[in-house]
Amino acid sequence: MAVLLAGGAGFIGTHTAVEFLNAGYDVVIADNLYNSKSAAVRRVEEITGRSVAFYEIDVCDKDALRKLFSEQSIEAVVHFAGMKAVGESVAKPLQYYSNNLGTTIALLTVMKEFGCRCIVFSSSATVYGKSNPVPLFETMPRGECTNPYGWTKWMNEQIIMDACTADPELSGVLLRYFNPIGAHESGRIGEDPQGIPNNIFPFITQVAVGRRPQLTIFGDDYDTPDGTGIRDYIHVVDLAKGHVAAVPYAKKHPGAKVINIGTGKGTSVFEMVNTFERVNGVKIPYVIGERRPGDLPESYANADEAEKLLGWHAEKTLEDMCRDGYRWQTLNPMGYGG
């Protein structure tokens, strides 16, 4: 029996593949390499000394999924396959709705045909919207999203919840990720964004290796202790382990369950920059810019549910995240292309 990682060649998927392989699972990856490289899958094999069955397919393509399910014995699906650039989703909403909802519908359809009853989905803290106070609890109402990417997470959650209501044997674990950063400690796999990074951490690592001259901090006049935005950064290896904990939980508990995956601790932009500089002994030049439209002052999780249901909590520190992320960028200054 194997787990299928849909979109598993990407940043979070490759780290999750390593943790499933280390835990003794067989791993099958389906990815169309829209935002990833096949080299990343080879590096997963190199890190673990195990082989991965790789299908270069569009996960919206039900016939391609049927072929995969007929060749492999899939006990659970972890669904990462989606486009994730917030700004691009505003410019290309139809592509985002079509791809991000299409992958979910195709997976659920083919899973049912093949009797696979377990899906773990990559959701996001963005579904909490703007009105909930921090820390964010799973019981809080979902809010209004500010962009099509966020709505695809919201709608995918709804699709999986409705599918679980209609089919009492189906289980769906909706993992609401906070801010995944860092890299595997080997420095062989990590985040490799195309073009200018949207997120702060890969921007910082690219400044650190001289690929970009400086960081722009989006506002220092928020109502936070140092005026900069606060987020719940989580090491990608901790996040990966959360998926390994979610699969046996899902197999025992039919129905839909929402679980935050964060550390429960907020970190400001200044704290992040200072920690990165201290741990790695590098300077991150920065300027203060305008606030980025749509940004919240603060977002961090209450992470108790993950501990209670999955026996999982984050173990790595902000220092680990900074050290491991910098090691990846130093060893691979141009990502997988370099």
CB atoms within 10 A of CB 71: 11
Q: Is 231 in the site for ligand UDP (CB under 6 A)?
A: yes
* Rounded least distance, CB 12 to ligand NAD, Å: 4
For residues 16-55, which are near ligand NAD according to CB under 6 A?
A: 31-36
For 132-147, give one letter per residue: b (16+ CB within 10 A) or e.
bebbbbbeeebeebbb
> Across the strands, what pairs with 5?
29, 78
Q: Does 147 bind ligand NAD (CB under 6 A)?
A: no
- Minimal distance in Å, beta carbon 263 to ligand UDP? 14
CB of 203 to ligand UDP, least distance (A): 5
Q: Which of 18, 25, 69, 84 binds ligand NAD (CB under 6 A)?
A: 84
Is residue 20 at the binding interface for ligand UDP, with CB under 6 A as the rule? no
Q: Which of helix, strand or coil describes residue 38?
A: helix
Q: Which of residues 268-287 bind ligand UDP (CB under 6 A)?
A: 269
Contacts of 2 (CB under 8 A, 6+ apart): 25, 26, 27, 28, 53, 72, 73, 74, 75
Question: Which residues are CB-contacts of 11 (< 8 A; sequence separation ≥ 6)?
Answer: 36, 180, 190, 191, 192, 236
* 25 is annotated as an active-site residue: no
**In terms of CB distance, is 158 or 227 closer to ligand NAD?**
158
> With CB cut-offs between 5 and 8 Å by kind, which of ligand NAD, ligand UDP, none does residue 58 bind?
ligand NAD
Applying CB under 6 A, does 173 fall inside the site for ligand UDP?
no
Q: Which helix (H) or strand (E) holds 59?
A: none
Query: Is 15 within 8 Å of 44 (Cβ atoms)?
Result: no
The 3-state DSSP class for residue 334 equals: coil
# of chain residues touching ligand NAD (CB under 6 A): 27
Q: Does 11 bind ligand NAD (CB under 6 A)?
A: yes
| 68, 57 Cβ separation under 8 angstroms | yes
Choice among 149, 177, 249, 300 that is catalytic: 149
* Secondary structure of residue 141 in the 3-state scheme: coil
132 interacts with ligand UDP by CB under 6 A: no
Binding residues among 87-106 for ligand NAD as defined by CB under 6 A: 99, 103
CB of 106 to ligand NAD, least distance (A): 9
- Structure-token pair, residue 152: 């695809």
Q: Which is nearer to ligand UDP, 17 or 157 (CB)?
A: 157
Q: Min. distance of Cβ 281 from ligand NAD in angstroms?
A: 26
Binding mask 210-229 for ligand UDP (x = CB under 6 A): -----xxxx----------x
Segment contacting ligand UDP (CB under 6 A): 43-51, 93-101, 196-204, 327-335? Answer: 196-204
Question: In this chain, which residue has its C-beta nearest to ligand NAD?
Answer: 10
CB-wise, 255 or 297, nearer to ligand UDP? Answer: 297
DSSP 260-299: EES-S--EEHHHHHHHHHHHHT----EEEEPPPTT--SB-
Partners of 256 in the β-ladder: 172
C-alpha dihedral sign at 296, 302, 303, 308: negative
Query: Alpha-carbon torsion 268, 270, 276, 279, what sign?
Result: negative
128 contacts ligand UDP (rule: CB under 6 A): no
CB of 151 vs ligand NAD, minimal distance in Å: 12
Q: CA geometry: angle at 176 spanning 130 and 114, to 5°?
A: 135
Question: Which three-class secondary structure state does DSSP give residue 172?
Answer: strand
Where do contacts with ligand UDP occur on this chain (CB under 6 A)?
A: 179, 198-200, 203, 215-218, 229, 231, 269, 292, 295
